[in-house]
């Protein structure tokens, strides 16, 4: 039997080691290679003196500078973003986000929108159609008739003159990330015109490559964030991830024609982890939303469309229509402000997930704490305490049950030895012992039913929080990135050898690339395990003892803010469990160790 246990233990250890290596090979190493490629491109660009453009990572079909020189443009300089509008098509296709950068060095701004001719082309605008004919299309030549540089509070006006129709487009930008297209259409013909506005957002090329050149860090981090189509039509949130989107798979709720009809307002866009581009048609008129599958079928770009209700313009008459376009960061206060102004469920642009009934309240509390404390790291620590307080009575009952089981280890061992050859009698005696002592062997498992969804919801909340991105805390410059320290660089004392570089070393890099937080997680998890009664099966006990080591390596690639939460949660759990078990007279391995050390010190003092 002992040989069989040893064999099973070795198999379990081999499986866990294989898991760690596979995780390293398929998850960590590809992420590190992409990170190194981005850093190499950044270094090369800095050496050529063009790093400050914020576009050094865009490798072509055409360089960004060349694409921006093609055709006439109007510059805009808003409070939260800047760039330019291409007059051909009146496209917003050059947009950078102020105060958001690709790295913590704050050198290159996040460039969200790019011209069609560049790699990762991404842009949006509104067109006009009359029946099946375009009045103003994707390349129509608009002219600037008033205004200079578009600024918050200083709009510009463009004009397009088509056969029988003149369109004056006033473009405004607010203090955040919203453009307004206020179009006045004048019918210069002798017949009535039936016109409708068509909103369009196009993204060219591979979506993964787009993420890499837009925001390298979020592109390499795995996690539960929704990336792809996101919109609200008829009051319902519609989602489709990029992969099935490019495969033209049906979206839940769409009609046979592949459209959604909304007469209650809404929006329709593409979302990444922290950024979004979205069409916001005039909310007072019905509109349809769709994906241009014909474009995808012929290998063209991914295009989302909205089409407004047809408007009749009598000869000589004019009509004014307002459509909007959002392009920016999914910052909670900003989204909430637009929602309060009448844009339905715009806060849901943040991916709350299936546990939204927990993630939303969790985020609100975290956001409130951060606004008062001023540090997202301290907010995480404070919030962890708030989450644990209402669960304390439940855990106290669980730990009392564990304490009783801990005290019964010796009697149970005697029963196992006495009735080793009679399993049925052994089980009866054990159950009799439980009943006499009032111990419940499954009492310690009850809190898991409540804590697992809570832990997941908090993990999800932290993962999708823009506030955690590039937030510094303690020795960390970015809570959304993995722990920057490593055993190999003496936890940061060797500054010229980064943890990211250490982790790329085959095999040994996985070991010496572990940072302070993952090590603390493994230590605290092991400390908690020492308080619990071990399983009666020796092989199971050995596997459980190895789990902190396995998870220590897995957590090495997680965002530092998430690992910080788990470490602090483990510390609080240990303190609570140790206190309860001591009050109930249960001995623990740590208690024995402390008593032994105190005894030695006392003997030495005497």
Give the length of the chain: 606
Is 179 within 8 Å of 85 (Cβ atoms)?
no
Q: What pTM was computed for the model?
A: 0.80
Distance of CA 415 to the CA centre of its chain: 52
What does the alpha-carbon distance between residue 44 and residue 38 come to, in Å, rounded to a whole number? 10
Lowest pLDDT segment from 248-252, 463-467, 540-544 = 540-544
Q: Nearest Cα to 300, choosing from 133, 116, 91, 131? A: 116
435 pLDDT exceeds 80?
no
The least confident of 35-49, 331-345, 397-411, 436-450 is: 35-49
DSSP secondary structure of 109-124:
EEEEEB-TTSTT-EEE
Cα gap 58→41, rounded to integer Å: 9
With a cut of 50, say whether residue 56 has pLDDT above it: no
**Burial zone of 98 (CB within 10 Å; 0-12 exposed, 13-18 middle, 19+ buried):** middle
Whether residue 392 contacts residue 573, with contact meaning beta carbons closer than 8 Å, is answered with no
Q: How many CA atoms lie within 13 A of 504 on its CB side?
A: 12
What are 498-538's pLDDT values in tens digits?
777 777 777 777 778 888 999 999 999 888 887 776 666 66
- The strand pairing partners of 97, in sequence order, are 81, 110
CATH class in words for 51-351: mainly beta
Check: CB of residue 251 under 8 Å from CB of residue 229.
yes
- Tell me the C-alpha distance between 103 and 218, whole Å: 11
The pLDDT-based confidence of 403 (bands split at 50, 70, 90) is: low
- Note whether 344 and 236 are within 8 A (CB): no
pLDDT of residue 455: 76
| CA separation for the pair 221, 241 (Å, rounded) | 16
Residue with token string 């540090």: 375
CB-count exposure of residue 590 (10 Å: 0-12, 13-18, 19+): middle
Strand locations in 374-496 (E)? none
- Which ranges constitute the DSSP H helices of 127-271? 207-214, 216-220, 242-246
Whole-number pLDDT of residue 34: 52
Q: What φ, ψ does residue 254 adopt, rounded to 5°?
A: -80, 155
- Band (pLDDT 50/70/90 cuts) for residue 219 is low
In the three-class reduction of DSSP (H, G, I as helix; E, B as strand; rest coil), residue 363 is classed as helix
Mean pLDDT highest for which of 485-489, 533-537, 592-596? 485-489
* Average pLDDT of every residue of the chain: 82
More confident residue, 484 or 585: 484
Supply the pLDDT for residue 535.
63
pLDDT at 9: 46
Domain parsing of the chain, residue ranges: 51-351, 373-481+515-605
> What is the C-alpha to C-alpha distance for residues 54 and 114, in angstroms, rounded to an integer?
12
CA distance 111 to 95: 6
pLDDT of residue 590: 67
pLDDT at 325 exceeding the cut of 60? yes
Answer yes or no: are the C-beta atoms of 87 and 115 closer than 8 Å. no
| Residues 575, 568 contacting (CB under 8 angstroms) | no
**Which two tokens mark 399?**
């730990």
CA–CA dist 355, 338 (Å, integer):
23
pLDDT tens-digit readout, 121-149: 999 999 999 988 999 998 999 999 999 99
Q: CA–CA separation, 382 vs 257, rounded Å?
A: 50
pLDDT above 70 coverage of the chain, percent: 78
**What is the C-alpha separation between 268 and 245, in angstroms, rounded?**
14
DSSP-derived secondary structure letter, 293: H
Q: Which residues are CB-contacts of 256 (< 8 A; sequence separation ≥ 6)?
A: none
Per-residue pLDDT of 91-121, as tens digits, reads 999 999 999 998 888 889 999 999 999 999 9
């Amino acid at each position: 039997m002992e040989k069989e246990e040893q064999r099973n233990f070795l198999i379990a250890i081999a499986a866990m080691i294989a898991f760690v290596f596979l995780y390293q090979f398929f998850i960590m190493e590809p992420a590190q290679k992409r990170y190194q490629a981005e850093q190499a491109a950044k270094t090369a660009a800095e050496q050529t003196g063009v790093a400050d453009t914020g576009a050094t990572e865009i490798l072509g079909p055409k360089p960004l500078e060349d694409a921006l020189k093609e055709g006439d443009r109007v510059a805009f300089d808003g409070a939260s973003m800047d760039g330019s509008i291409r007059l051909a098509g009146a496209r917003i296709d050059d947009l950078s986000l102020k105060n958001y950068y690709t790295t913590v060095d704050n050198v290159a701004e996040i460039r969200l929108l790019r011209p069609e001719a560049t790699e990762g082309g991404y842009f949006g605008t509104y067109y006009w159609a009359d029946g099946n004919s375009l009045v103003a299309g994707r390349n129509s030549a608009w002219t600037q008739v008033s205004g200079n540089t578009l600024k918050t509070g200083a709009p510009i006006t463009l004009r397009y003159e088509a056969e029988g129709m003149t369109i004056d487009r006033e473009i405004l930008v607010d203090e955040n990330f919203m453009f307004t297209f206020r179009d006045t259409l004048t019918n210069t013909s002798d017949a009535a015109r039936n016109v409708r506005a068509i909103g369009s957002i196009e993204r060219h090329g591979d979506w993964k490559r787009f993420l890499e050149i837009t925001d390298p860090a979020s592109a390499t981090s795995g996690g539960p964030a929704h990336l792809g189509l996101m919109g609200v039509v008829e009051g319902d949130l519609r989602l489709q991830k990029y992969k099935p989107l490019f495969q033209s798979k049906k979206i839940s709720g769409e009609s046979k024609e592949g459209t959604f009809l909304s007469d209650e307002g809404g929006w329709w866009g593409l979302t990444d982890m922290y950024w979004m581009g979205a069409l916001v048609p005039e909310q007072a008129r019905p509109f349809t939303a769709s994906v241009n599958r014909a474009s995808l079928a012929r290998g063209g770009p991914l295009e989302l469309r909205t089409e407004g209700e047809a408007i009749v313009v009598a000869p000589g008459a004019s009509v004014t229509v307002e459509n909007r376009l959002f392009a920016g960061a999914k910052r909670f206060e900003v989204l909430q402000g637009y929602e309060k102004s009448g844009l339905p469920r715009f806060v849901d642009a943040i991916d709350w997930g299936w546990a939204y009934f927990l993630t939303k309240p969790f985020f609100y509390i975290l956001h409130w704490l951060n606004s008062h404390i001023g540090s997202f790291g301290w907010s995480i620590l404070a919030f962890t305490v708030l989450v644990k307080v209402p669960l304390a009575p439940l855990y106290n009952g669980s730990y009392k049950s564990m304490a009783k089981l801990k005290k019964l280890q010796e009697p149970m061992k005697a029963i196992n030895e006495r009735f080793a050859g009679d399993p049925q009698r052994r089980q009866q005696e054990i159950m009799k012992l439980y009943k006499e002592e009032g111990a419940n062997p499954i009492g310690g498992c009850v809190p898991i039913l409540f804590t697992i969804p809570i832990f997941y919801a908090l993990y999800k909340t932290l993962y999708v929080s823009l506030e955690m991105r590039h937030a510094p805390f303690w020795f960390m410059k970015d809570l959304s990135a993995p722990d920057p320290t490593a055993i190999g660089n003496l936890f940061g004392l060797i500054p010229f050898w980064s943890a990211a570089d250490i982790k790329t070393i085959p095999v040994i890099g996985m070991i010496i690339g572990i940072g302070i937080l993952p090590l603390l997680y493994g230590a605290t998890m092991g400390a908690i395990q020492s308080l619990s009664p071990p399983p009666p099966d020796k092989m199971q006990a050995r596997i459980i003892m190895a789990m902190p080591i396995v998870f220590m390596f897995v957590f090495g690639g997680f965002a530092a803010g998430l690992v910080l939460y788990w470490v602090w949660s483990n510390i609080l759990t240990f303190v609570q469990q140790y206190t309860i078990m001591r009050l109930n007279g249960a001995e623990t391995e740590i208690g024995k160790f402390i008593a032994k050390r105190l005894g030695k010190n006392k003997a030495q003092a005497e």
